[in-house]
Amino acid sequence: APSGDPLDIRELIAIRPWLNQARFTPPGSPLALRLVSLRALGFRLPVWNEQGDTLVHAVTGQILVPDQQRGNYVDTATHEPVGPGWRVWIGTENFRLLFRDPAIRRPFLQIFIWNLTFAFLSVAITFGIGVFLASVLQWKALRGRALYRTLLILPYAIPAFIPILVFKGLFNEGYGEINLILSSLFGIAPKWFTDPALARAMILIVNTWLGYPYMMIIASGMLQAVPDELYEATAIDGAGPWTNFWKITLPQIMPPLFPLLIASFAFNFNNFSLIYLLTGGKPDIVGSATVAGTTDLLVSYTFRMAFKDSSARFGFASAVATLLFLVVAVLAWQQLRFSRRPATALTKEAK
């Protein structure tokens, strides 16, 4: 203050815009003091010095040169890109890089094949278990059906992230209950999170637990619509439960179930939360030029490239996301096209 008394915090805040612009040069000093906080002045030196288009670190001497084609700086010592960068127009370069660079193409194809396999197996396994349990619960001679149905539906009533984190603890290689039981009974301790095959098996196990109640619920509704007269007619011919299932039950419930199976396939194809919470995409693929894991799906692979990679490869991640959209669209179209033929044929047979 003009009187020499210190200003209170409200007065400092009021004149802060002026303080931010003010510079105070001590006698004999080549540097000027500037505001570093509301209560202190200090010297601020640039971390990077500009030498034309080149940046030189003021302390370490690290040299960064611009790569105008990629839109970022490159360390001259390690030849690694340094982010963040700037926007540049590169056309379809990211797509060409995806299919031409072996260090990128190989992990991408590996992730894509695993993505298709995961989605298909998830739908097939959960559908099989769901239809089986729904058929058992339809058995009128079974006592306590309401209790069994309630217990089997419980996993579906719990938010998915809770059982995922619970299973992550159960499968822990050091103190998880599953490894403790396997070690005490069989003397083995599987490496669930470090072995690629076991990590994928673990993901399928957890996803089966999360997905079978949904399939059981919709299959139960479909089974209710199957006329009892069909089973009575086959009983006269001496058909057993297995014949009834393949000749009557499955053909009757498949046409209305097909759209739901397609929706389930699309959901599992983009099941980001399961991968992110359970394995994070790891173990990593050795030799990959991007952040890629053996349990990654395309959606988690895209996320890791954009937000987990130190170079923040937003453009490349956008290219993969575009391909992901096209793949899902083509698969959905093909499956819907394929589903019309069996649905029409089965409808004619029922008539």
pLDDT digits (tens, 9 = 90+) for 133-155: 998 888 877 888 888 888 898 88
State the helix-helix crossing angle for 196-224 and 250-269, rounded to 10 degrees.
Answer: 140
Q: How many CA within 13 A on the CB side of residue 4?
A: 0
Task: Give, rounded to a whole angstrom, the gap between the first and last alpha carbons of the chain.
Answer: 95
Q: Where in the chain are the domains?
A: 1-44, 47-89, 96-350
Residue 112's pLDDT is what?
92
CB atoms within 10 A of CB 53: 10
Highest mean pLDDT among 89-103, 127-141, 249-263, 269-283: 269-283
* 118-122 average pLDDT score: 96
Q: Alpha-carbon distance 267 to 60, whole Å?
A: 49
The dihedral formed by the CA atoms of 235, 238, 241 and 246, expressed in degrees to the nearest 10: -100
Residue 8's pLDDT is what?
78
Confidence of residue 346 (pLDDT cuts 50, 70, 90): very low
Joined together, the tokens standing for residue 212 give 């079978």
Kindly report, residue by residue over 177-215, the tens digit of the pLDDT: 999 999 999 999 999 999 999 999 999 999 999 999 999
Kindly report, residue by residue over 31-71, the tens digit of the pLDDT: 777 877 777 777 777 788 888 889 998 878 899 998 887 77
Residue 145's pLDDT is what?
84
CB atoms within 10 A of CB 172: 15
The dihedral formed by the CA atoms of 135, 141, 144 and 149, expressed in degrees to the nearest 10: 10
Confidence of residue 251 (pLDDT cuts 50, 70, 90): confident
Question: At which residue do the structure tokens 């290689």 appear?
Answer: 173
* 13-31 average pLDDT score: 79
Residue 341's pLDDT is what?
59
Cα–Cα distance list, 206 to 13, 50, 160, 163 (Å): 55, 53, 10, 8
Confidence of residue 343 (pLDDT cuts 50, 70, 90): very low
For residue 347, pLDDT over 60 is answered with no
Whole-number percent of the chain with pLDDT over 90 = 35
Residue 274's pLDDT is what?
96
Which has more pLDDT, 262 or 133? 133
**Mean pLDDT score of the chain, rounded to an integer?**
85
For residue 349, pLDDT over 50 is answered with no
Q: Alpha-carbon distance 233 to 223, whole Å?
A: 17
Which strand (E) or helix (H) includes residue 66? Answer: strand 63-67
Residue 310's pLDDT is what?
61
Question: 226 φ, ψ to 5°?
Answer: -75, 125
Q: What is the pTM of this model?
A: 0.76
DSSP 74-98: EETTT--EESS------TTHHHHHH
Q: What architecture is the 96-350 domain classified under in CATH?
A: Orthogonal Bundle (1.10)
* 270-284 average pLDDT score: 94
Residue 192's pLDDT is what?
96
Residue 206's pLDDT is what?
97
Highest mean pLDDT among 27-31, 266-270, 347-351: 266-270
Question: Which residue, 229, 225, 232, is CA-closest to 252?
Answer: 225
* 273-292 average pLDDT score: 91
Kindly report, residue by residue over 288-334, the tens digit of the pLDDT: 888 899 999 999 999 998 887 665 678 888 889 998 888 888 877 87
